[in-house]
Chains A and B, each alone.
Chain A
Amino acid sequence: MILRTPVPKKRRPESVVEDLHSPVSDRRLVRYEEPGPITAVEPSDEMVCTYHCRQMVKSEFMAALNNAEKQVAEYQAKLELMNNELTQSEDERTKFRDSILSLEQKLEASKGREQALQERLLKEVDEFMERYKEQVKQCSELEVQLSKEVDSRKKAELSFTSAKERATDLEGRLQRLSDSAEREKNIIKEERQHLQDDSKLSARKMTADVCFLERMTLRAEISERESELLKKQLNGLRKQLDECLCEKNALEQKLATYPIPLQESTSSEDKNLVKYLQEQIRGYEAEVQEARKFKAFHTNSELLKEKLIEEKGRREKVEVELSKLQDVQLSAQKLELELVSWKSLLEELPDVSSLSDIPKKFAALQKEAIQNMMEVSELKAQLKQLEVALELGENKRQHYEKESCLEKQRANNAALEAKRLQMMLSSVTEERDRLKKEAAMLSKLKNSHESGPPNETLVKDLESSLADRENTIKELQTNLHEQQGVVNHLHDELKILSEQLSSEARRVKSLEREGDRLRAEISLLESKLGHGDYSAANTKVLRMVNTLAVDNETKHTIDSLREELKKTQSKLQAIEELKGQSDAANIIDDGIPEKLAQLKSQIATLEKREERYKAVFAEKISIFRRACCLLFGYKVRLNCRRCLSVPLGHEMSFVSFNRTIGFALNREDPFAANRVKDDEGAALDLATTRGLDPSLVLNDHPKNTCECCATMAEASELMDEAEAMEEPPSMMR
């Protein structure tokens, strides 16, 4: 808008300056210096002279004024623009100031946080260093333990190899032992087979003997029967012979009494009669011969009987031997069982080559057991130590795991923090760049407009703050790098720790396995200890003799021993008395006590034998009495009225024979006498064969009482019964 100003009066140049100093003018505006025509326009006389000149000047002035107004307007517009720009820049400046303040606050906060982070990181670094040192120490200790474990493992492996070698040696020896045992077993089997074969042979022989004996018995029976028949015939023939002899005697007597003339008439008859009688005599002689044959046959039968008895005795012996064979077989079976047990023992026991080695092996095994027990105790102690170390290791592992987790978390947090700082840094750098640009722009504006000095100071302050921020940012970057380096280092340490943890875990497992193995060994050894095993080299097992179950038996045995002792003492006294009575006092014999002992033993054995013989004799005599009674016609009766003098003052029953004869016979009868003698001889023979005292058998009693005796058949039956009843006395064995 064109401001119409009055025509300027001739103003003095001072008024123009006042105008400038008027309150309307703004000092802030740039001083405008009009060109000369406006100020230098002075009305001169020349212009007054003419109106045209004035109008021309006015027009020129007006044009200049218009131009000036236009310029002013332009300048005002520009000023407004500048003012606006100024306000804007002021607003921006305030904004920047606020932002700078906030940034400063943030920076300070970040500084504080950085410091706290640094302190914390330093602390953590210190702690990690300490832990690292501790871990290094523990690692060294673990390495030492590991080396020890390795050494122990090597030792164990060496012992294992040595044990393997020993085991192989033992297996070889065991095989040898088993072979030797098998050989011995085979030998024993062969011997057993031999024995069995021998026994079978002997059994067969015995059966054959038994068959032979049976045949012989049958033959004997047959011969006995034949002998009986022959005896009957003999008796008949004897009777006939006696009758014939009587007739002969009568005839001879008659012939002697008959006259001689009559002899010629009767000579033929006599011859015939003589012939007849001679024939009869021949017949009788033949019969007598037959009777004699029968008698011989009878004697043979008796011999056969004796043989039968002998064979029976042999059979009994064979039976005894058979029973012994059974005992031998039982003993062989026992031996086999023992052998099997020994074999099993040998199989169980290594390093044993013979039975005599077994006690030594037992001693060695017991020593080994004791050593094993000691080792077990040591291993127990080691196991406990290992368990303690294991628990410590596990605790440490857990602790390390926790620490590693914490460190991981811290590392993650540090990484996050670093990322956040990086982002902050990037944002701050962006702001810085932006501020730089704006500062540059402002400086450019400053240079173009040449405004007041306060803007420069602000820019300088901004620049200085920016420089400070840059420095801090650089420091933050360096710290970030350091922290990243620390984090990487921590990651590496974490990896190492995890590896150590895995190795420790493996070691823990191996220790647990070893612990289980040791516990199994300990339980085995404890079971052996509880089982009652012991070392024969160091220990012996004793028990009291006076157990309650043997109480009464011992008392009885002691009583019997006492009695024997008394007897021996009495015998000793008797012997000593005898010794004193004899001339043994002059003869000093050094071997008297020994002789006494020998004599005592002999006395004891003889007494035992005597008792045995008495028992046997009592049995045999009863049988013999009956047999004698039946066979020979003698009945034995016990007569206790008379006592014989027997050593030791024992009474003995008096044995007497009552002769029982089946038919009337006189003592003068030669045949009867012969018969009696024969019977006595047979009795004697029988008595001797049976081991009886003949003097006791034949004690002739003057009684001639006759009693009927059994027939030969009954006698033979009784003999059989007697033989069946005969058993070798147990004492005789």
Chain B
Amino acid sequence: MGSRTASKDIITLRGSAAIVCEFFGYAANSILYNRGIYPEESFVKVKKYGLPMLLTQDEGVKSFLAGLTSQLTGTHLKVLCLFDLPSYPFHLNASQEWMEAGKLQRVVLVIMSRTTMEVLERWNFSIQTDAEVVEKGLIKEKSDKEIMREIQAIMRQIASSITYLPCLDEPCVFDVLAYTDMDVAIPFSWIESDAKLIENPQMVKLHSFDTKIHKVDTLVSYKNDEQD
């Protein structure tokens, strides 16, 4: 996916967007597994980024994440919605390439209590896009190995986050928020929402990775245990 040549390590905007969305998909799965949002037996081990990564087999979650990543990349595939109504009006024109248009600022994975819907954790993925590349369609060069190494470091940090994050003793649900520019047309399956913030959170900054076109910073903020 994406126009990356192995010989010269050239990266285009589309390729970089694909890398970032792929990373987000795996990162979301890793978070869901490590935080125990879904049972362990619903995950399958695959090899990615030189690490054993876990992917959910829950059809609902899979379709949700697939729809999410398709919206983020803006690939004009059939959006795998949770309800399949042929007469339902899909505004595919509105689902512009958020990532490829440089309109996506942040993606936040929010973990909430199922009963009280209180926000317990926020996994914040900030995205900085090179405006020059978006405007002029330039091509950058960066080694794939370097990018994979950076992503690998982040994945390791996500896996090791259970050492300092508080235990989630109650059943939880997750949701995904997308911070976009104001001029983005809202697709049909998306609505405006509040930021679902945590009061007086504890924050831990993780590593970041850079494709020379998109720079992704990872930060996790969680509810302070002492407040309880």
User: Cβ of A531: which chain B residues have Cβ within 8 Å of it?
Assistant: 197-198, 201, 203, 221
Asked if B64 and A541 make an inter-chain contact with CB atoms under 8 angstroms apart, the answer reads no
A residues 489-543 near B (Cβ < 8 Å) are: 526-527, 529-534, 537-543
**Any chain A CB within 8 A of the CB of B166?**
no
Taking a contact as CB atoms closer than 8 A, the residue among A527, A538, A548 that contacts B60 in the complex is A548
Which residue of chain B is the closest to A547 with respect to CB atoms?
B175
**Could you say which residues of chain B place their CB within 8 Å of the CB of A538?**
181-182
A532 touches B221 (CB 8 A): yes
Q: For residues 590 through 616 of chain A, which have their beta carbon under 8 Å from a beta carbon of chain B?
A: none
With the chains together, A357 CA to B43 CA distance in Å? 49
- Interchain CA distance A555-B124 in the complex, whole Å: 31
Are A544 and B108 in contact (CB-based, < 8 A)? Answer: no
| Residue contact A551 to B60, C-beta cutoff 8 Å | yes
Contact with A along B155-181 (1 / 0, CB 8 A): 000000000000000000101111111
Known A543-B190, A545-B191, A546-B81: A534·B67 in contact at CB below 8 Å: no
The answer to whether A546 touches B83, judged by C-beta atoms less than 8 angstroms apart, is yes
Q: Does A558 contact B (CB under 8 A)?
A: yes
- Pick the contact of B82: A529, A530, A534, A554 (CB < 8 A): A554
Inter-chain contact A530/B124, CB cutoff 8 Å: yes
B88-126 interface mask toward A, CB cutoff 8 Å, 1 = contact, 0 = none?
Answer: 000000000000000001101000001000000010101
Judge whether A549 is part of the interface by a CB distance below 8 angstroms.
yes
Q: Is B194 in the interface zone, CB < 8 Å from A?
A: yes
- Per-residue 0/1 for B52-76: is the Cβ within 8 Å of any A Cβ (1 yes, 0 no)? 0000000011001001100100000
Q: With A551-B82, A554-B82, A554-B83 in contact, do A540 and B192 touch (Cβ < 8 Å)?
A: yes
A526 CB contacts on chain B under 8 angstroms? 205
For chain A, what secondary structure do more than half of its interface residues adopt (helix, strand, loop), or is it mixed? mixed
CB < 8 Å neighbour of A532 from B122, B173, B205: B122
A86 to B30, CA, bound (A): 118
The contact size tier of chain A is 20 to 34
Q: In the complex the two chains form, is B82's CB within 8 Å of A546's CB? A: yes
- Shortest A699–chain B CB gap in Å is 50
A532 touches B83 (CB 8 A): no
Q: B42 within 8 Å of A by Cβ?
A: no
In the complex, are the beta carbons of B83 and A543 less than 8 A apart? no
Q: How far is the CA of A555 from the CA of B85 in the complex (A)?
A: 10
Complex: how many Å from CA A529 to CA B205? 11
Cβ distance B166 to chain A, nearest Cβ, rounded Å: 17
Q: Are B221 and A542 in contact (CB under 8 A)?
A: no
B195–A546 contact, CB under 8 A?
no
Expressed in whole angstroms, the Cα–Cα distance for A541 and B61 within the complex equals: 21
Contact A543 B176 (CB under 8 A): yes
Nearest residue, chain A, Cβ from B79: A546
Contact across chains for A545 and B180 when beta carbons are under 8 A apart: no
Bound together, the chains give a CA A548 to CA B67 distance in angstroms of: 12
Q: A527-B203, A546-B67, A546-B82 are in contact. Are A541 and B186 (CB under 8 A)?
A: no
Residues from chain A with Cβ under 8 Å of B180 in the complex:
539-540, 542
Q: With A and B bound together, what is the CA distance between A456 and B221 in angstroms?
A: 108
Chain A residues closer than 8 Å to B5, beta-carbon distance: none
Q: Are A539 and B186 in contact (CB under 8 A)?
A: no
Shortest beta-carbon distance, B176 to chain A, in Å?
7
| A532, A539, A545 — most chain B CB neighbours (10 Å) | A532
* Cβ–Cβ contact B189 & A546, under 8 A: yes
Chain B: minimal CB distance from A30 (Å): 115
Which residues on the A side are within 8 Å of B184 (C-beta)? 540, 542
CB contact between A539 and one of B64, B105, B114 (< 8 Å): that residue: B105
Q: Are B195 and A541 in contact (CB-based, < 8 A)?
A: yes
Chain A proximity of B84: nearest CB distance (Å)? 10
Contact (Cβ within 8 A) B192 A542: yes
Q: Are B83 and A555 interface neighbours, CB within 8 A? A: yes
The answer on a CB contact under 8 Å between A542 and B178 is yes
Q: Within A709-731, which residues are at the interface with B (CB < 8 Å)?
A: none
**Which A residue's beta carbon lies closest to that of B205?**
A530
Contacts of B126 in A (CB 8 A): 529
Which residues does chain A contribute within 8 Å of B178, judged by CB atoms? 541-543
Q: Across the interface, do A530 and B64 meet the contact criterion of CB distance under 8 Å?
A: no
Closest chain A CB from B194 CB (angstroms)? 7
- Expressed in whole angstroms, the Cα–Cα distance for A527 and B124 within the complex equals 12
Residues of B within 8 A of A542 (CB): 177-178, 180, 184, 186, 190-193
CA distance A546 to B114 in the complex (A): 16
Tell whether B219 is near chain A: CB-to-CB under 8 Å.
yes
Q: Return B25 CB to nearest CB of chain A, in Å.
A: 14
Are B190 and A545 in contact, CB atoms less than 8 angstroms apart?
yes
Is there contact, CB below 8 Å, between B85 and A543?
Answer: no
Q: Which of B82, B108, B192 has the most chain A CB atoms closer than 10 A to its own CB?
A: B82
* Contact residue among A527, A530, A540, A543 (Cβ-Cβ distance under 8 Å from B175): A543
- Which of these, A533, A539, A555, contacts B181 with CB under 8 Å? A539
Give the residue name and chain of the B residue nearest to A549 (CB): B173
Q: Which residues of B contact A541 (CB under 8 A)?
A: 177-179, 192-195
Mark out the residues of chain A between 544 and 590 whose CB falls within 8 Å of any chain B CB in the assembled complex: 544-549, 551, 554-555, 558
User: How many Å from the CB of A565 to the closest CB on chain B?
Assistant: 9
Q: Select B197's contact among A532, A539, A540, A546, beta carbons within 8 Å.
A: A532
Task: Give which listed residue, A530, A545, A551, A555, contacts B221 with CB less than 8 A.
Answer: A530
> Can you list 6 A-B pairs, Cβ within 8 angstroms, ordered by A?
A534-B106, A534-B195, A543-B178, A546-B81, A548-B60, A548-B82
List 3 tightest A-B contacts by C-beta distance, closest first: A546-B82, A543-B193, A530-B203
Q: 6 new A-B pairs (CB below 8 Å) besides A532-B122, A543-B177?
A: A530-B201, A537-B182, A538-B181, A539-B179, A546-B189, A551-B82
- Residues of B in contact with A (beta carbons under 8 Å apart): 60-61, 64, 67-68, 71, 81-83, 85, 105-106, 108, 114, 122, 124, 126, 173, 175-182, 184, 186, 189-198, 201, 203, 205, 219, 221
